[in-house]
Amino acid sequence: MDLSLYHLVREPKIKLDKNPLILLLHGYGSNEQDLFSFASELPEEYFVVSARAPYDLQYGSYAWYAINFDADENKFSDHEQAKTSRDLIAGFIDELIENYPIDKENITLIGFSQGTILSYAVGLSYPEKVQRIIALSGYLNEEIIKDNFQENDFSNLKMFISHGTVDQVIPVDWAKKAPGILENLGIKTVYKEYPVGHGVAPQNFFDLKNWLESN
């Protein structure tokens, strides 16, 4: 089936009339295989879909938006590309609901790194499309969220955020800013840290699974 993003699907092992969805969004320079590797560990009633980001970096690497460096090695994110990807993911969720027996009231985004940055942007721009976000090793970038997003209704949105305390790619201090912003918007948020770098520790995976099953 030809949807706007290339993706892998794990069908639910427990079939309902409409099943919940977990949409996996990988990090910069990775691909749809990366997070899909733990699809088999996720709860059996979910459709698990892992999407490939649209920008091809060659050699099996993809990005949701470009990160450029200037002469002084300062990083710049391409915010226009990020907004395009934000809206592409929002549209892709609609396509998945049209093409699979998915419960549109039960959608979870799990992002890693750049995929987390996009998960925040989708959830805060289009909270009617997403009920849960699991934000791994990323940060909240308000510049790529729709204008006046603060006025949206977030009453059905919950978030689980986790970060490694020794992350060299995205400093933990960047991640720490999100819970305050989210709680001000009335979003129920769980924030956890683990003594790891830019990755998902086994304990982190265990905690996010527990959170998913109880929310």
| Measured CA angle at 16 (ends 10, 18), to 5 deg | 80
> pTM score, two decimals?
0.95
Query: Using one digit for the tens of pLDDT, what is the confidence trace for 15-53?
Result: 999 999 999 999 999 999 999 988 889 999 999 999 999
pLDDT at 27: 96
The answer to whether 27 and 35 are in contact (CB under 8 A) is no
Angle, nearest 10°, between helix axes 79-99 and 114-125? Answer: 70
Query: Using one digit for the tens of pLDDT, what is the confidence trace for 102-156?
Result: 999 999 999 999 999 999 999 999 999 999 999 999 999 999 999 999 999 999 9
> Tokens 């819970």 identify what position?
179
Q: Which tokens hold the place of 21?
A: 């969805």
Q: Which tokens hold the place of 186?
A: 């009335």
pLDDT at 186: 96
CA 139/CA 118 separation, integer angstroms: 9
Residue 68 in this model has a pLDDT that exceeds 90: no
Residue 72 in this model has a pLDDT that exceeds 70: no
Confidence of residue 2 (pLDDT cuts 50, 70, 90): confident
What architecture is the 7-214 domain classified under in CATH?
A: 3-Layer(aba) Sandwich (3.40)
Which residue ranges make up each domain of the chain? 7-214
Beta bridge partners of 112: 136
The count of C-alpha atoms lying within 13 angstroms of the C-alpha of 113, restricted to the half-sphere facing its C-beta, is 22
pLDDT at 1: 64
Query: Using one digit for the tens of pLDDT, what is the confidence trace for 195-208?
Result: 999 999 999 999 99
